[in-house]
Amino acid sequence: MLVSALLAALVGAALLGAAALKVADRTGTAVAAETFGLRGRAARWAWLPLAGLEAALAAGLLAGPPAAAWAAAIVLAVFAMAQATAIALGRSGAPCGCFGARGHLSWGAVARTASLAAAAAFLGLGFAAAPPRLVPALGALALASAIVLRVRRPGGALELEAEGPPLGSRLDLGHGDVRLALFVADGCRLCRGLIAQAQRLGGAVFDELADAAAWSAADVPGAPFAVALTADGTVLAKGTVNTRAQLASVVGAAQARAAGVHPERGSSRRGFLATASVAVAALTAGRMLVALVAPGDADAFHFCGHVYTTDGCPHPTGLPRIDSHGHPLRAKDGMPVDDLGRRIDASGAPLDDAGAPLLDPDGRAQPPATRTRVCVAAGKRYGIAVRTDGAWYRCCNGHVRKLIDCCTTSSRRINGDRALRGYCYGRHRVFCVMYYQTKVPC
């Protein structure tokens, strides 16, 4: 009975935790769905049937019928096979969405899913006496809660000095007394989920097209973006927001500053540039780099409004666009490139701009070069240990863009900023940033 109770609690907790994390991070689930071949609307709504299926399987498993255990075993086995197939197709390291946005495809993930399937099958075979239903149910709820709480999710808005109106400045949005402004864009799903919350908080909503003057006055970097003000229009807090909690954090930061208390620096990047001199240096360097960027790539420099305040990771073609596995892509068209910056085909052979094999002066095809993940290459170049952890989403040109931190415990910096944790986990800090352009509509 004890073995059965433990297995039921373990499998039930895994299913409940996975369902909860998919609901909590629907955008991350949509991005991960691309790993398994889903595109467009199918990827956007993948969280709903998946979360529903996992929650239903958990409920049935904890209720006790052997048929429910067998159903869970079959579904988990299918999940394991889908993961193994994706790895066989060369997608190892891509987001899998198994347990939140942090999960990535690996043989370890396949083994974990297969083990859960085997445990469910063991319950279905009825090798152990059925325990009292309350025991595994309570255990599963406790474990699922631990899984959800363990996955770190940014609670604060992404507040950068170089983005939006300067703190302490006066802002006239042309709509009378506005204490909270939420800037949204047409077709932005991330924005639609925040409008009701902004209105509950007494805020006003400004559309990119209908309220273009307000957007310009606030120097909005991209949607969704929030600004909290005093009655006379003084800016107290601001930042890009993806969730209702992050929107509420802008109001909380404003209230703290109004009371003379500096808001806590948690997962957000408030105070990312600690002094005006650092801000000026970052902006000056940014302008110099923009001048060197080809016109077709210029929009990528800002990551759809996200300025290189931490600096971009070293990249063969200059702008750190990556594919779902972290390998370099050419920013202007998303073509794969090798470590030398040459366009390549599926086998890694270099191509010219017309897509023909790249030849040397003697007319022979040039040999392929290595192609290293951008974050890994940054670590090798600077001699530090790195890894990718957190991510941020923005709606750019109708599709979700994922901003990714390359993290390290090293104190070394690419530029002069005194960077904070950003969205890195544990004791890691942001070393450089990359971005991944998805095909998920927003």
- State both tokens at 1: 């009975």
Q: Determine the Cα–Cα distance for residues 439 and 30; give it in Å rounded to an integer.
A: 10
Peptide bond just before 224 cis, omega within 30 deg: yes
Q: Distance between CA atoms of 225 and 184, rounded to whole angstroms?
A: 7
* Assigned token pair, 442: 């927003």
What are the residues facing 334 on neighbouring strands?
A: none
pLDDT on residue 283: 30
Say if residue 128 is exposed, middle or buried (CB neighbours under 10 Å; 0-12, 13-18, 19+).
middle
Q: Look at the block and give the residue holding tokens 């999960």.
A: 103
pLDDT score at 129: 46
What pLDDT shows up at residue 77? 92
d(CA 11, CA 118): 10
Among 90, 64, 63, 61, CA closest to 76 = 61
* E strand or H helix at 120: helix 107-125
What pLDDT sits at residue 21? 79
Q: Is the dihedral of CA 257, 261, 265, 271 positive or negative?
A: positive
One digit per residue, the tens of pLDDT, for the chain of length 442 reads 566 777 777 787 788 878 887 877 776 777 777 778 776 677 778 878 888 888 888 888 777 777 888 898 899 999 999 989 988 877 776 777 777 655 677 888 889 889 888 988 888 886 444 554 554 555 555 555 555 544 545 556 777 676 788 888 998 887 777 889 999 876 666 677 788 888 888 889 998 888 888 888 888 877 788 999 998 889 999 988 877 888 888 888 888 888 776 554 433 333 332 222 222 222 333 332 333 333 333 333 345 655 444 567 889 988 888 988 889 999 888 899 999 999 999 889 999 888 899 888 888 888 889 999 999 999 998 889 988 876 777 777 667 778 888 888 887 766 544 445 556 666 677 888 888 887 776 5
- The domain made up of 154-271 has a fold known as Glutaredoxin (3.40.30)
- Per-residue confidence (pLDDT) for residue 337, from 0 to 100: 94
Residues in contact with 189: Cβ distance below 8 Å, sequence separation at least 6, in sequence order: 27, 44, 395, 441, 442
What's the pTM?
0.47
What is the pLDDT at residue 295?
Answer: 31
Query: What pLDDT is stored for residue 271 in this prediction?
Result: 32
Which pLDDT score, from 0 to 100, does residue 281 have?
Answer: 28
The structural domains of the chain, with segments of one domain joined by +, span 2-150, 154-271, 276-336+371-441
- Three-state secondary structure along 69-117? HHHHHHHHHHHHHHHHHHHHCCCCCCECCECECCCECCHHHHHHHHHHH
Classified as helix, coil or strand, 47 is: helix
CA dihedral 310, 434, 293, 212 (to 10 degrees): -80
| Residue 171 contacts residue 233 (beta carbons within 8 Å) | yes
- Cβ atoms within 10 Å of 20's Cβ, excluding its own: 20
